[in-house]
Amino acid sequence: MGRAQPHAHHGIQISLSLDGPAGKLLLRSGTDGEWPAFRAAIVRPNRRHAFDGLGGSVAQLFVEPETVRGRSLLKRYAVEDITALPLEMIEPALNRLAKRYAKGGDIQALVAISQGIVDTLAGAERAQPSANPRIAAAIEFISQHMTSTLTLQQVAAAVHLSPSRLRHLFVQETGTTYRGYVLWLRINRAVVAMMDGRSWTEAAHETGFADSAHLSRTFRRMFGISPAMLIKEKR
């Protein structure tokens, strides 16, 4: 993976080099300055940052910050915008992930190992989820009913809040706006659709984007790279 342009997104980012003990990747906060090297690092959500995989193999894991695991990760590690992760905790699983990736295929195995890494980092005693049950209910409602036309007013009515109160609480609890959160869910579902074999156009239409160009522009803005760097378009 090459260099990604400065970008920001809602997810906690866990960046892992898959090139063995000597493998490195570069991350920096903001748009300029030094490029510290890491084998494993965590990036706080909604922080503008840039990335360079130095042409190697890299795993990027994303965890929503309002989840139990996300809150625990932020509490335990993400003091700075970008923080090195304790390699000794995850090195065996990281090596398994690298070997599985090198073999190719078997997405489910890659996902299972990746989830294990997140669980190990989050720890057994995890932080509590959102203290506001209405925001938790709003997130669940959005996930189950998400379309490009789902409005803040509809979600507010479902959780018995005024739109203005929901807007305020949503930012307070999640660190992002309602529209930003919905866009995050849509782009992630589009990626899943493409990994399942859909074309960019099919994935775009299934997740509420106007076309594949709209999806590609949004992806580039959110992740700093073209989706073609991850998944080849099906012709």
Q: Which domain holds residue 179?
A: 133-229
pLDDT in tens, 145-172: 876 678 999 999 999 999 999 999 999 8
* CATH assignment of the domain containing 105: 2.60.120.280
Domain final residue, candidates 122, 156, 190: 122
Which of 55-69, 119-133, 189-203 has the least mean pLDDT?
119-133
43/185 Cα distance (integer angstroms)? 19
pLDDT in tens, 62-75: 999 988 899 899 99
Domain-embedded: residue 71: yes
Count other C-beta atoms under 10 Å from residue 203's C-beta.
26
CA-only gyration radius of the chain, Å: 18
Domain-embedded: residue 128: no
Q: How far is the CA of 196 from the CAs of 174, 182, 190, in angstroms?
A: 29, 21, 10
Cβ neighbours of residue 74 under 8 Å, at least 6 residues apart? 12, 44, 65, 127
pLDDT band at 234 (very low <50, low <70, confident <90, very high): very low
Residues 82, 13 share a domain: yes
8 Å CB contact between 115 and 81: no
Residues 153, 109 share a domain: no
